Amino acid sequence: MPFIKVYVHFVWGTKNREPLLDNKDVRLKVWNHIRENAQEKGIFIDFINGHADHCHCLISLGADQTIQKVMQLIKGESSFWINKHQLISSRFEWQDEYYAVSVSESMLDKVREYIKKQEEHHTRKTFMEECEELILRHGFVKIRDN
């Protein structure tokens, strides 16, 4: 049996970054559902939270899990579930792109706290500003469309 501990901080937004999850009760239902569904699929979500137009997840990857497959399972099923239960008045979709970065053991508490404080955080900064900051902080190269 392999012993693996690989944490990844995932961030993804709603389609066109629309604030479709602007109701806190709806957001909590979505986060709880994502956690329960992930658990059924053997995906360990350490921490989850977000805001009106995006979600943050701290996930510990298993031996046979890939970033792409985890995102596909979480995003695809949760958007289906949101639409099936008509939690919002329009059709719900997550954007295709996402952000994923590894998290060292020593930084787990800091990342959990960052995810926990999303409501407060977004009184000062938009999701776009947050994305730009994450891209710069972690050295991602942003490719511009022509």
Q: Is residue 36 part of a domain?
A: yes
Say if 146 falls within a structural domain.
no
The verdict on residue 46 lying in a domain is: yes
Q: What gap in Å lies between CA 139 and CA 143, rounded to an integer?
A: 13
Query: How does residue 136 score in pLDDT terms, banded at 50, 70 and 90?
Result: confident
Mean pLDDT across the chain, nearest whole number?
Answer: 91
In a domain? residue 78 = yes
User: What's the pLDDT at 145?
Assistant: 55
Using pLDDT thresholds of 50, 70 and 90, give the confidence band for residue 113: very high
Residue 142 lies in a domain: no
pLDDT of residue 123: 76
Whichever domain contains 96, its CATH number is 3.30.70.1290
> The pTM is what?
0.86
Asked whether residue 145 is domain-assigned, the answer is no
Average pLDDT of the residues in 123-145:
73
State the residue range of the domain holding 37: 6-137
